[in-house]
Amino acid sequence: MGARVPRWIPSEPGEEEPLLAALGLNDVEELFRDVPEQVRMGRMGLGAPLEEIDVVRRIDRILSRNRTHSRYPAFLGGRVGLRYVPAAVDALLLRSEFYTSYTPYQPEASQGMLQSLFEFQSLWVELTGLDAANASLYDGATAAGEALLLCRRLKEGHRFLIPASLPWEEKSVLANYAAGLGIRIEEIPYDPASGLLDLAWIREAVGRGEVFGLLADLPNGFGGLDEGLPELKGILGGVPLVVAADPLALAVLEPPGAYGADIVVGEGQGFGTPPSFGGPLLGLFACRAEHLRLTPGRIVGATRDAAGRRAFTLTLQTREQHIRRSRATSNICTNQSLLALAFVAYASLVGPRGLERLAHRLSDRARLLAQALGRSPALRAPAFSAPFLWEFAVSVRAGSAREFLDRLAAARVLGGTPIGDPRPGRAGAEEALFLTAATEFTDRRAIRRYARAVGGEPPGDVAPEASRGGGP
């Protein structure tokens, strides 16, 4: 046995001196001499030390300045959803069995976690209509990036088609995946009236060759349901089709596998995980059986042990951490096990009928919201004619959407999420658009407050077709 190395936590300036002497240094700053001065942050100016209770008080004062959805009426649309999480979900996540077996390298000691991941995969397979799913990825955007790479393995080419209406954050992630691989990402234009994909443009683009994949989203970046999706596979032929789908939408819509999708990805945060200022998130990924060995990450399988009992194990691990880099399908190094558990716990507690009822209820409230906002002279709501579920694009008639939403926030209404790319010079035609959504917290009083804030007419009685809805 070697010499015992004690734990060292510096607490006094004098305790650093023996360490610096052993390293042949005169000052801690010398540890950073290889970092150029121009990129250093310098001193952070934290001030004098504080007692723990004083730190908590100061942080509370800082946090009180946040405009959160729990304090103001919130209609924030986008991939990060605001839904009620039953208390039982957290009760399951906090059980020590799931924390202690978080990384299931030893299947004999991790059967509970492995089974939950297997059930998670099975749920996503059922919703998508495909054959197999992995045990999750980081988020919906990286799942789309991994789908791009899988398409490239399935078909030669250097052109990948995506909707121009795809959220700018996801476009950015896809561009990062494509960088260095000779891949050109081309944006499919949308019809300015409906907001839906231009199928004629897609047909012409595919006819020119070198297209190795196409990604479409459901709902799209404007919240619309593209009725042309079932036609895409006929246009693409042998070109792989990727659909990025909202799991709640799939509770009431035809599964993409039924109309030819080869890969279905999505963002699973809305099932059991709160928004948490944008993370952590949960990437969903499913594909056809013939593509299984080319998929990224972990896949949990069901088998039998030596005694013939049903058991679960990591069947495929195609990530770089486990196999030779040259044979890996991805450099994804882990999966979102705990959030996958939240997903399956939420879906199991709500149930298939509960998910369907929730989708209808949110859709009814969104129509009531659209009617109220559409009466405002400052807005065009919805901005497009395509059918929608619980979120839709709104167009600001004067100025930018960001300025309009900032004014709403000052009036204590979180009216939506800007659609335009905020990076300099990139907002383009979407600068005046924002996405607004109805949630389980969208009651009649919240809609009235929003309508008054934008100079619209508060809603009256619920329309007959919206009678399934109701306040939370």
- Which pLDDT band holds residue 12 (cuts at 50, 70, 90)? low
The span from the CA of 356 to the CA of 252, in Å, is 6
How is residue 221 annotated by DSSP? T
Kindly state whether residues 199 and 281 are assigned to the same domain: yes
Kindly state whether residues 281 and 371 are assigned to the same domain: no
Short-list 387, 404, 423, CA closest to 75: 404
Domain with 457, as residue range(s), is: 351-466
- Which pLDDT band holds residue 18 (cuts at 50, 70, 90)? confident
- Phi–psi pair at 245, nearest 5 degrees: -120, 145
Domain CATH code at residue 172: 3.40.640.10
Residue ranges of alpha helices (H) inside 129-267 are: 140-154, 168-178, 199-207, 229-236
The span from the CA of 260 to the CA of 455, in Å, is 45
The span from the CA of 172 to the CA of 210, in Å, is 22
Kindly state whether residues 283 and 420 are assigned to the same domain: no
The span from the CA of 348 to the CA of 352, in Å, is 8
- pLDDT reported for residue 388: 97
Helix (H, G, I), strand (E, B) or coil at 122: helix
- Does residue 303 belong to any structural domain of this protein? yes
What b/e sequence results for 89-127 when a residue is b if at least 16 CB atoms lie within 10 Å of its CB, and e otherwise?
beebbeeeebeebeebeebeebbbbbbbbbbbbebbbeb
- pLDDT reported for residue 78: 87
Q: For the segment 98-113, what is each residue's pLDDT rounded down to a tens digit?
A: 766 556 667 777 888 8
Domain CATH code at residue 430: 3.90.1150.10
- Does residue 37 belong to any structural domain of this protein? no
- Does residue 69 belong to any structural domain of this protein? no
- pLDDT reported for residue 60: 95
Task: Read off the tokens for 271.
Answer: 């099932």
Task: Read off the tokens for 446.
Answer: 């919240």
- Does residue 273 belong to any structural domain of this protein? yes
User: Is residue 289 exposed (0-12), middle (13-18) or buried (19+ Cβ within 10 Å)?
Assistant: exposed
Kindly state whether residues 401 and 317 are assigned to the same domain: no
Instruction: Indicate the number of domains in the chain.
Output: 2
- pLDDT reported for residue 463: 41
Residue 459 in this model has a pLDDT that exceeds 50:
yes
Kindly state whether residues 312 and 445 are assigned to the same domain: no
- Among residues 323, 345, 367, the one where a domain terminates is 345
Contact, 388 vs 382, CB < 8 A? yes
Task: Read off the tokens for 97.
Answer: 């069995």
Q: What percent of the chain has pLDDT over 70?
A: 90
| Mean pLDDT for the stretch of residues 260-286 | 93
- Which pLDDT band holds residue 461 (cuts at 50, 70, 90)? very low
- pLDDT reported for residue 462: 40
- pLDDT reported for residue 11: 60
The span from the CA of 338 to the CA of 96, in Å, is 12
| Mean pLDDT for the stretch of residues 437-465 | 79
Kindly state whether residues 355 and 406 are assigned to the same domain: yes
- pLDDT reported for residue 467: 32
- Among residues 329, 345, 361, the one where a domain terminates is 345
Least confident stretch, 147-156, 307-316, 321-330, 392-401 = 321-330
What are the C-alpha distances in Å from 111 to residues 8, 108, 196, 316, 319? 37, 6, 45, 16, 21
What are the C-alpha distances in Å from 107 to residues 46, 122, 172, 372, 409? 46, 19, 37, 54, 50
- Does residue 82 belong to any structural domain of this protein? no
Full DSSP string of 404-430: HHHHHHHTT-B--EE-S--STT--GGG
The span from the CA of 170 to the CA of 273, in Å, is 20
- Does residue 13 belong to any structural domain of this protein? no
Q: For the segment 132-157, what is each residue's pLDDT rounded down to a tens digit?
A: 999 999 999 999 999 999 999 999 99
Contact, 44 vs 405, CB < 8 A? no
Residue 6 in this model has a pLDDT that exceeds 60:
no
- Which has the higher per-residue pLDDT, 47 or 2? 47
Kindly state whether residues 145 and 262 are assigned to the same domain: yes
Kindly state whether residues 285 and 205 are assigned to the same domain: yes
Residue 353 in this model has a pLDDT that exceeds 70:
yes
Kindly state whether residues 125 and 162 are assigned to the same domain: yes
Arithmetic mean of pLDDT over the chain: 88
Kindly state whether residues 165 and 254 are assigned to the same domain: yes
- Does residue 368 belong to any structural domain of this protein? yes
Look up residue 401 and give its amino acid. A
Kindly state whether residues 399 and 320 are assigned to the same domain: no
- Phi–psi pair at 313, nearest 5 degrees: -155, 160
Query: Bridge partners of 74?
Result: 414
- Among residues 345, 368, 384, the one where a domain terminates is 345
How is residue 189 annotated by DSSP? P
- Which pLDDT band holds residue 425 (cuts at 50, 70, 90)? confident
Kindly state whether residues 128 and 266 are assigned to the same domain: yes
Residue 460 in this model has a pLDDT that exceeds 80:
no
| Mean pLDDT for the stretch of residues 234-257 | 97
- Does residue 257 belong to any structural domain of this protein? yes
